[in-house]
Amino acid sequence: MQLILASASPRRRQILEMMGLSPEVRPAAGDESIPEGVAPDGVVRILSGRKAGEVASSAPSDAVVIAADTVVVLDGRILGKPKSEGEAADMLRALSGREHRVLTGLTVIGRGAEVCVCEEALVRFRELTDGEIARYIATGEPMDKAGAYGIQGRGGVFVSGITGDFYNVMGLPLCRLGLILRGMGVELI
Amino acid sequence: MQLILASASPRRRQILEMMGLSPEVRPAAGDESIPEGVAPDGVVRILSGRKAGEVASSAPSDAVVIAADTVVVLDGRILGKPKSEGEAADMLRALSGREHRVLTGLTVIGRGAEVCVCEEALVRFRELTDGEIARYIATGEPMDKAGAYGIQGRGGVFVSGITGDFYNVMGLPLCRLGLILRGMGVELI
């Protein structure tokens, strides 16, 4: 099976490699504009579907294309990648001591089928001090991450617990992906 | 700070390295005998405390020693490492479609203090087929793992979700460790 990952995320590639797969990485150019008034779960489904469709249109017909889009949602509002260190600090203060949602839209195209789902996980942060927030930002880790933290990095120490699939929080809901691929006749194990 | 990890587990070392630490690894020789009639949370506390104490007794007085012991518990019974492929298959069939507990006993000795806790996480498996169980065992991954699976490996695809600290399921409850070290005046971030 030729597996194509329509994402530049090294974390998504690592999850597939952990399963013994060797995906070809073809990041979508990606129109990231969102129709007005769409809820976060719709946003991630739309964005993942667009990425998968774009890459599938030029992929071999027997390939399986996987695309995903992950967002952090607090109080119904999507937290994207911070545009400045000040915005990163605002996000981390907002997440401190609270539970937020991580939504991943996952689209798989192949074997004559297209499946698009949204998978949710809940992530609980312990209380953060101003000193921790400042030192964490100084590591540089928050700046390219939605919600200004990485659970698979130093930010993991802030997470008291999750409810859901850890790999979803990393950006690729592995259990769900396995079931979708099985539906296409591809077994991950 | 001199940090000593009293465990040979590469996964525990990786979690500390992810936090930017460079622990010295000094596995405890480890008497693994358990007093009769002790509940699983007591077992992991006792075993982690014994490992930490053994290593701390020969460590520099200003070092911080970390030890942990992790078990998988189903229906009140501890599932250890499988002794045969048949036993691995029995364990995986027992975990299939159900939720089980992962308990980690964590002992930290340093700065004149000794802290010993048990941290729990819940792990949910989706239903596994006999074919998946057989192929997973054929990968060799289950044989050196408590409960016959690794969440940080191909076994991750079986886990529909967890409730708790993912790093606890990997063997070292990172958030809790950070709070204990803070109590000793050591900040992980």
Give per-residue pLDDT as tens, A106-120: 999 999 999 999 999
Query: What is the widest separation between alpha-carbon atoms in chain B?
Result: 53
Measured in whole angstroms, how far is the alpha carbon of residue A185 from the centre of its chain? Answer: 24
Res A30 pLDDT > 80: no
Residues in A closer than 8 angstroms to B14, CB to CB, are none
Look at the block and give the residue holding tokens 């579907």: A49
What's residue B30's pLDDT?
A: 74
d(CA A9, nearest CA chain B) in Å: 18
Residue of A157, A167, A174, A180 to mutate, testing the B interface (most B Cβ within 10 Å of its Cβ): A157
Quick one: closest CA in B to A174, which residue?
Answer: B157
Q: Does some domain include residue A44? A: yes
- A136 contact residues in B (CB cutoff 8 A): 189
Task: Please identify which residue in the block is written with the tokens 């921790």.
Answer: A132
**Alpha carbon separation from B125 to B8, B92, B149, B153 (Å, rounded):** 27, 9, 11, 14
Do B157 and A126 lie within an 8 Å CB cutoff?
Answer: no
Residues 6+ apart with CB under 8 A from B92: B128, B133, B136, B137, B142, B148, B149
Q: Are A24 and A56 in contact (CB under 8 A)?
A: no
Average pLDDT of the residues of chain B: 96
Average pLDDT over residues B12-39: 92
Domain assignment present for A135: yes
Residue B32's pLDDT is what?
79
Percent of chain B with pLDDT over 70: 100
For residue A172, pLDDT over 80 is answered with yes
Report, as an integer, the average pLDDT of B115-120: 98
Q: Which domain holds residue B113?
A: 3-183
**Proportion of chain B above pLDDT 90, given as a percent:** 94
Residue whose C-alpha is closest to residue A149's, from A83, A98, A88? A88
* Residue B189 domain-assigned (yes or no): no
Q: Name the pLDDT band for A125 (thresholds 50, 70, 90).
A: very high
For residue A158, pLDDT over 90 is answered with yes
How confident is residue B2, by pLDDT bands cut at 50, 70 and 90?
Answer: very high
User: Are the beta carbons of B163 and A165 separated by less than 8 Å?
Assistant: no
Answer whether B103 touches A (CB < 8 Å). no
pLDDT at B35 over 90: no
A179 and chain B: CB distance < 8 Å anywhere? yes
Q: What is the mean pLDDT of residues A106-135?
A: 97
Residue A188 lies in a domain: no
Judged against a pLDDT cut of 90, whether residue B104 lies above it is answered with yes
Q: What is the ipTM of this complex?
A: 0.95
| Confidence band for B31, pLDDT divided at 50, 70 and 90 | confident
Q: Is the pLDDT of residue B54 over 90?
A: yes
Q: Is the pLDDT of residue A31 over 90?
A: no
- The reply to whether A166 falls in a domain is yes
Residues of chain B with C-beta less than 8 angstroms from the C-beta of A175: 126, 156-161
Burial of residue B161, with CB atoms counted within 10 A of its CB: 0-12 exposed, 13-18 middle, 19 or more buried: buried
CATH code (residue A142): 3.90.950.10
Q: From chain A, pick out residues whose CB is under 8 angstroms from the CB of B154.
A: 18-20, 188-189
Name the E strands within A48-156: 64-74, 77-79, 99-110, 113-125
Pick A161's closest partner by Cβ from B153, B163, B177.
B163
Question: Is residue A162 included in any domain, yes or no?
Answer: yes
Residue B140: partners with Cβ closer than 8 Å, 6 or more residues away: none
Residue B188 lies in a domain: no
**Residue in chain A lying closest to B152 (CA):** A18
State residue B33's pLDDT score: 84
Question: pLDDT for A88-105, tens place per residue?
Answer: 999 999 999 999 999 999
Tell me the catalytic residues of A.
69
- Residue A1 predicted with pLDDT over 90: no
Q: Provide the domain count of chain A.
A: 1
CA B22 to chain A, closest CA, distance in angstroms equals 14
Does residue A189 belong to any structural domain of this protein? no
The pTM assigned to this predicted structure is 0.96
Q: Under an 8 A CB cutoff, do B175 and A151 touch?
A: no
